């Protein structure tokens, strides 16, 4: 059996940010999800507010997204906790019914 060595070359490209840190129009369009009105608003923020306006919008969007994710996480946790409590209540109700039956049978035996 013969071993063959194969060399692979990997090529990566890195997009350099604009010199002033401001994204170009295609990046704005991608961020807006292709929505025309949102793209225009973002472009206006970029032009009127410059880099500071863009940085503020970017941070605001990121924080809003993080808050939504945290809200979803808290809701999921609350639902899980509610389900666990419902299960405990059901178990306690079953135990209560069993104790009531035992008590009834014990009292009926005493009466005889």
Residue 2 lies in a domain: no
* 105, pLDDT greater than 80: yes
Structural domain containing residue 40: 25-107
3-state secondary structure the chain: CCCCCCCCCCCCCCCCCCCCCCCCHHHHHHHCCCCHHHHHHHHHHHHHHHHHHHHHHHHHHHHHHHHHHHHHHHHHHHHHHHHHHHHHHHHHHHHHHHHHHHHHHHHHHHHC
Residue 85 lies in a domain: yes
Residue 8 lies in a domain: no
Residue 48 lies in a domain: yes
* pLDDT tens digits along 32-90: 676 678 777 777 777 766 677 677 778 888 898 999 999 999 999 999 999 999 999 99
Residue 1 lies in a domain: no
Residue 3 lies in a domain: no
Number of domains into which the chain is organized: 1
* pLDDT tens digits along 83-92: 999 999 999 9
- Higher pLDDT among residues 57 and 12, named by residue: 57
What is this structure's pTM? 0.43
């Amino acid at each position: 059996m013969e071993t063959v060595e194969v060399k692979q070359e990997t090529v990566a490209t890195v997009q350099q940010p604009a010199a002033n840190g401001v994204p170009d129009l295609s990046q704005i369009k991608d961020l807006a999800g292709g929505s025309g009105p949102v793209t225009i608003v973002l472009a206006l923020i970029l032009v009127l507010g410059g880099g500071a306006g863009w940085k503020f919008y970017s941070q605001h969007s990121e924080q809003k997204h993080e808050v939504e994710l945290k809200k979803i996480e808290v809701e999921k946790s609350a639902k899980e906790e509610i389900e666990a409590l419902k299960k405990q209540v059901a178990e306690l109700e079953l135990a209560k019914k069993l104790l009531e039956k035992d008590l009834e049978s014990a009292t009926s035996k005493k009466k005889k």
